[in-house]
């Protein structure tokens, strides 16, 4: 089962002719992912890594039945690319692009309101269902098929958590990077809901960081709706106020969005909070009582 | 990106937002000439630094005439201004804004930010002008009026009226405040601002509405469509280490501890800082070398970290994904040989080709301490600092 991507996912890569797009298309294919089409306006008719390229997403969907999109389009054009995918009826849109202006993402979210598409990202590593489909830039080999769902605002820190899980024999159902920007397509809550409903997921790892209040909202949601054990880590316990820590969304603004507040809210909701990033895997082992 | 008050006011004026008349000066003579041009009466001399709290720190003074403006500008330009936002080290003042003195009847507050929860810009107004808005929010949140903006339509006149009448303004003053809010929002939207604060927004004795102060920050991601904005950057306002880092596209933030950090990825970089703290030491910096941690970037990062005399040891934490650890290790060895590292270095490599990477480090003949787990790395670095 897993969530978001599975055996039936047929992926179109938007921005496939670029350096990053072409490189990761190969990595995904090597993992066994069904990349069925690419899109780069004006380059229709070409082939990249043996994948046919089309001028529009609509064409890619019509000709190859694509239902998932992976976006590597540069920031200035990425918002348009997301909307194009949604208009073409793509069900899951995964946007890797970093550096999209905040206001563009607000327009995108408004546009998606009456569409049936789910957006993951932007500024994220993507989604992987281990052993089935890798739709993103994460290293496939650290993952292991299993029953832990992982949701994270980070990239390499997610790899760290996954590697801790895998080395303890805890495989993953699906791992999702939701992105480090202030405005993202799918917040924690939307995915927690899917993991709670997914029969293949036994436990959930949620990795947050400073900035915003998504973790607090997730804590409240988990308390009311999630019965599976949830382990959480919040990065940035030592981050100074008012400084953007790499991610556009990782900033303590006006004294709000500190790691302390988030960790307290999560602990109060009964979530297993790992204080150290080295304890994420071990905390899940304990939470599962295995 | 942040800009100075005088620059923000120039942007606001170009959108028709009323501000006091004035100009920026870099010398006392210029300040005097501006005061004369403004009519020779009372002027305000305001230190131009990016931090707030300038008035309390002694950076904003009233001058009765051009001679006094000359004198005060002489005192303020070159002074080291300490406010609650500059930190105890303060900030050197290079410029002053000289503005006409006004008859202030009422001080209010106006601000615009992007509300992350709702995904909408929110225009805020408060009767508590001159106060820190965070303080008002904490003590009397009911005094902050908010209007959430649908970006597809922009701020609507009725929303501006809600704010103006909500502030208790008379109909005559509200008639001026409404277009003020509308233009303010237009400037925010057109310039891809991430924050705008008018504190105070004033009503004069004769019923005019003006921006007495102005603060604007911009969305760094939107710079590609605003070629005019980067010109407004003042690097003397930024930390010199961070300015240096920005030349090489390194994400770097200077901190107070003495363990230098080099990490790939922002989340892992923050987590590495956290685990150093848990091991009993403090990070000297946040540094994300990015996805492409090649030899050149590693070298720049090394130089930057080691140029800080507070750094007593360095922790390098790389989780290889698409970036291979053996490549990073080669880069570290090359860079270390070039830079001439004199402090202990602990390196943790995990992920793609971690074993090969560790082997390269061990055989380099350089004095690296290698760790495979995160906790082990933090403990090793803490041990060498003590």
Q: Do A155 and B271 touch (CB under 8 A)?
A: no
What mean pLDDT is predicted for residues A57-84? 98
Instruction: Name residues whose C-beta falls within 8 Å of residue A62's C-beta, 6 or more positions apart in sequence.
Output: none
Taking only residues 6 to 25 of chain A, the set having a beta carbon closer than 8 angstroms to any beta carbon of chain B reads 23-24
Q: What angle do CA A198, A81, B121 make, to 5 degrees?
A: 85
Q: Do B134 and A233 touch (CB under 8 A)?
A: no
Residue in chain B lying closest to A152 (CA): B267
Predicted local confidence at residue A1, as pLDDT: 66
Predicted local confidence at residue B293, as pLDDT: 64
Q: Do B114 and A182 touch (CB under 8 A)?
A: yes
Instruction: Quick: pLDDT tens for A181-239.
Output: 999 999 999 999 999 999 999 999 999 999 999 999 999 999 999 999 999 999 999 99
Predicted local confidence at residue B372, as pLDDT: 85
Interatomic CA distance for residues B380 and B370, integer angstroms: 9
ipTM: 0.94
Max CA pair span of chain B: 80
Establish if A163 touches chain B: CB-CB under 8 angstroms.
yes
Could you count the other beta carbons within 10 Å of the beta carbon of residue B348?
A: 26
Residue in chain B lying closest to A104 (CA): B222
- Tell me the three state secondary structure of residue A209: strand
| Letter string b/e over residues B276-285, b meaning 16 or more CB atoms within 10 A of that residue's CB | bbbbebbbbb
Residue where the block lists tokens 């905390």:
A283
- Count of residues for chain B? 386
Name the token pair of B98: 């000289």
**pLDDT for residue A242 is more than 90:** no
Give the sign of the dihedral formed by CA A110, CA A115, CA A116, CA A117. negative
Candidates B86, B116, B323, partner chain A, best to mutate (most A CBs within 10 A) = B116
| Letter string b/e over residues A194-210, b meaning 16 or more CB atoms within 10 A of that residue's CB | bbbebebbbbbbbbbbb
Taking only residues 313 to 372 of chain B, the set having a beta carbon closer than 8 angstroms to any beta carbon of chain A reads 319-322, 350-352
Instruction: Quick: pLDDT tens for A157-188.
Output: 999 999 999 999 999 999 999 999 999 999 99
- Residues of chain A contacting residue B84, judged by C-beta atoms under 8 Å apart: none
Q: What are phi and psi of B256, to 5 degrees?
A: -95, -10
Strand-by-strand arrangement of the B60-63 sheet: B22-25, B96-100, B43-47, B60-63
Could you count the other beta carbons within 10 Å of the beta carbon of residue A288?
A: 16
Instruction: Name residues whose C-beta falls within 8 Å of residue A82's C-beta, 6 or more positions apart in sequence.
Output: A71, A93, A95, A108, A112, A119, A122, A185
Name the token pair of B183: 């233009």
Establish if A27 touches chain B: CB-CB under 8 angstroms.
yes
Alpha carbon of B322: minimum distance to chain A alpha carbons (Å):
6
Terminal C-alpha separation, chain A: 23
- Tell me the three state secondary structure of residue A4: coil
Is the backbone peptide bond immediately before A88 cis, with ω within 30 degrees of 0? no
Q: Do A212 and B117 touch (CB under 8 A)?
A: yes
Query: How much helix, strand and coil, in percent to the nearest 5, is found in chain A?
Result: 35, 20, 40
SS (H, E, C) A33-57: CCEEEEECCCCCCCEECCEEEECCH
Interatomic CA distance for residues B188 and B112, integer angstroms: 8
Predicted local confidence at residue B337, as pLDDT: 86
pLDDT in tens, chain B (386 residues): 999 999 999 999 999 999 999 999 999 999 999 999 999 999 999 999 998 889 888 999 999 999 999 999 999 999 999 998 888 889 999 999 999 999 999 999 999 999 998 999 999 999 998 878 888 888 888 899 999 999 999 999 999 999 999 999 999 999 999 999 999 999 999 999 999 999 999 999 999 999 999 999 999 999 999 999 999 999 999 888 888 888 888 889 999 999 999 999 999 999 999 999 999 999 999 999 886 667 788 888 888 998 899 999 999 999 988 778 888 888 888 888 888 888 999 999 998 888 999 999 989 888 889 998 999 999 999 999 87
**pLDDT for residue A43 is more than 70:** yes
Q: What are phi and psi of B364, to 5 degrees?
A: -75, -15
Query: Which position among B68, B99, B109, B128 bears the catalytic label?
Result: B109
Strand partners, B97: B24, B46
Alpha helices in A122-256 (DSSP H): 156-167, 188-197, 214-225
Closest to B258 in 3D by CA, of B315, B340, B313, B316: B313
Given a contact cutoff of 8 angstroms between Cβ atoms, the answer to whether B176 and B209 are in contact is yes
Interatomic CA distance for residues B106 and A230, integer angstroms: 52
**pLDDT for residue A290 is more than 70:** no
Interatomic CA distance for residues A230 and B120, integer angstroms: 30
Instruction: Name residues whose C-beta falls within 8 Å of residue A112's C-beta, 6 or more positions apart in sequence.
Output: A82, A83, A86, A119, A185
Q: What is the DSSP letter of A132?
A: T
Predicted local confidence at residue A255, as pLDDT: 78
Instruction: Quick: pLDDT tens for A260-272.
Output: 999 999 999 999 9
- Tell me the three state secondary structure of residue A249: coil
Interatomic CA distance for residues A177 and B209, integer angstroms: 47
SS (H, E, C) chain B: CECCHHHHHHHHHHCCCCCCCEEEECCHHHHHHHHHHCCCCCEEEEECCCCCCCCCCCCEEEECCHHHHHHHHHHHCCCEECCCCCCCCCEECCCEEEEECCCEEEEEEEEEEEECCCCEEEEEEECCCCCCHHHHHHHCHHHEEEEECCCCCCCCHHHHHHHHHHCCCCHHHHHHHHHHHHHHHHHHHHCCEEEEEEEEEEEECCCCEEECCCEEEECHHHHHHCCCCHHHCCHHHCCHHHHHHHHCCCEEEECCCCEEEEECCHHHHHHHHHHHHHCCCCECEEEECCCCCCHHHHHHHHHHHHCCCCCCEEEEEEEECCCCHHHHHHHHHHHHHHHCCCCCEEEEEEECCHHHHHHHHHCCCCCEEEECCHHHHHHHHHHHHC
What torsion do the CA atoms of A38, A41, A42, A45 make, to the nearest 10 degrees? 20
- Residues of chain B contacting residue A105, judged by C-beta atoms under 8 Å apart: 119
Give the sign of the dihedral formed by CA B24, CA B30, CA B36, CA B41. positive
Burial of A281 (0-12, 13-18, 19+ CB in 10 A): buried
Predicted local confidence at residue B291, as pLDDT: 66
Query: Which position among B68, B197, B299, B379 bears the catalytic label?
Result: B197
Instruction: Quick: pLDDT tens for A4-15.
Output: 999 999 999 999
**pLDDT for residue A21 is more than 90:** yes
Interatomic CA distance for residues A276 and B280, integer angstroms: 13
Instruction: Name residues whose C-beta falls within 8 Å of residue A285's C-beta, 6 or more positions apart in sequence.
Output: A168, A170
Strand runs (DSSP E) across chain A, as ranges? 11-14, 35-39, 47-48, 51-54, 68-71, 92-95, 118-120, 126-129, 133-136, 145-152, 172-177, 203-209, 230-235, 272-273
């Amino acid at each position: 089962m897993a969530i978001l991507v599975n055996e039936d996912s047929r992926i179109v890569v938007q921005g496939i002719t670029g350096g990053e797009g072409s490189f990761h298309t190969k990595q995904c294919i090597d993992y066994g992912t069904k990349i069925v089409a690419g899109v780069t306006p004006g380059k229709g008719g070409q082939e990249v890594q043996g994948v046919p390229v089309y001028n529009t997403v609509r064409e890619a969907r019509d000709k190859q039945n694509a239902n998932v999109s992976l976006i590597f389009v540069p920031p200035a054009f990425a918002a348009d690319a997301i909307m194009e995918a949604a208009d073409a009826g793509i069900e899951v849109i995964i946007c890797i692009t970093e550096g999209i202006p905040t206001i563009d993402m607000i327009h995108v979210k408004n546009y998606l309101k009456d569409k049936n598409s789910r957006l993951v990202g932007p500024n994220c590593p993507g989604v992987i269902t281990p052993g089935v489909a890798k739709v993103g830039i994460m290293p496939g080999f650290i993952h292991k098929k299993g029953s832990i769902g992982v949701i994270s605002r980070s990239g390499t820190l997610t790899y760290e958590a996954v590697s801790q899980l895998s080395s303890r024999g805890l495989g993953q159902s699906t791992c999702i990077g939701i992105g480090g920007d202030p405005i993202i397509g799918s917040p924690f809550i939307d995915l927690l809901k899917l993991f709670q409903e997914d029969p293949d997921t036994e436990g959930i790892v949620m990795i947050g960081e400073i900035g915003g209040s998504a973790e607090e909202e997730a804590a409240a949601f988990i308390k009311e709706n999630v019965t599976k054990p949830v382990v959480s880590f919040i990065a940035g316990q030592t981050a100074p106020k008012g400084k953007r820590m790499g991610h556009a969304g990782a900033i303590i603004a006006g004294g709000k969005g500190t790691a302390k507040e988030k960790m307290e809210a999560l602990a109060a909701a009964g979530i297993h909070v790992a204080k150290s990033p080295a304890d994420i895997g071990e905390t899940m082992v304990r939470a599962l009582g295995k | 990106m942040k800009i100075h008050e005088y620059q923000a006011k120039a942007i606001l004026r170009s959108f028709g937002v009323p501000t006091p008349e004035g100009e920026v000066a870099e010398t006392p003579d210029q300040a005097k000439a501006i005061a004369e041009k403004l009519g020779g009466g009372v002027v305000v001399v305001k230190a131009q630094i990016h931090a707030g709290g300038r008035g309390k720190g002694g950076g904003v003074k009233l001058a009765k005439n051009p001679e006094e403006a000359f004198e005060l500008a002489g005192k303020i330009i070159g002074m080291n201004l300490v406010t609650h936002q500059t930190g105890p080290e303060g900030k050197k003042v290079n410029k002053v804004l000289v503005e006409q003195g006004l008859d202030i009847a009422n001080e209010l507050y106006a601000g615009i930010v992007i509300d992350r929860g709702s995904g909408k810009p929110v225009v805020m107004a408060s009767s508590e002008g001159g106060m820190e808005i965070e303080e008002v929010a904490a003590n009397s949140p009911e005094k902050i009026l908010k209007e959430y903006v649908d970006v597809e339509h922009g701020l609507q006149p009725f929303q501006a009226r809600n704010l103006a009448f909500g502030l208790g303004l008379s109909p005559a003053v509200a008639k001026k405040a409404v277009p003020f809010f509308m233009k303010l929002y237009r400037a925010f939207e057109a310039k891809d601002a991430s924050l705008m604060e008018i504190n105070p927004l004033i009503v004069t004795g004769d019923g005019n509405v003006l921006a007495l102060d102005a603060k604007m920050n911009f969305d760094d991601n939107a710079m590609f469509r605003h070629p005019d904005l980067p010109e407004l950057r003042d690097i003397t306002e930024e930390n010199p280490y961070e300015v240096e880092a920005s030349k090489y596209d390194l994400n770097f933030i200077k901190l107070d501890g003495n363990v230098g950090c080099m990490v790939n990825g922002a989340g892992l970089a923050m987590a590495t800082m956290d685990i150093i703290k848990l091991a009993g030491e403090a990070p000297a910096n946040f540094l994300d070398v990015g996805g492409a941690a090649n030899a050149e970037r590693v070298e720049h990062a090394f130089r930057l970290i080691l140029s800080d005399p507070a750094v007593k040891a360095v922790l390098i934490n790389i989780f290889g994904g698409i970036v291979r650890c053996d490549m990073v290790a080669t880069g570290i060895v090359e860079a270390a040989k070039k830079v001439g590292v004199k402090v202990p270095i602990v390196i943790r490599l995990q992920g793609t080709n971690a074993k090969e990477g560790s082997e390269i480090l061990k055989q380099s003949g350089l004095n690296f301490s290698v760790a495979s787990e995160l906790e082990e790395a933090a403990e090793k670095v803490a041990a060498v600092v003590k």
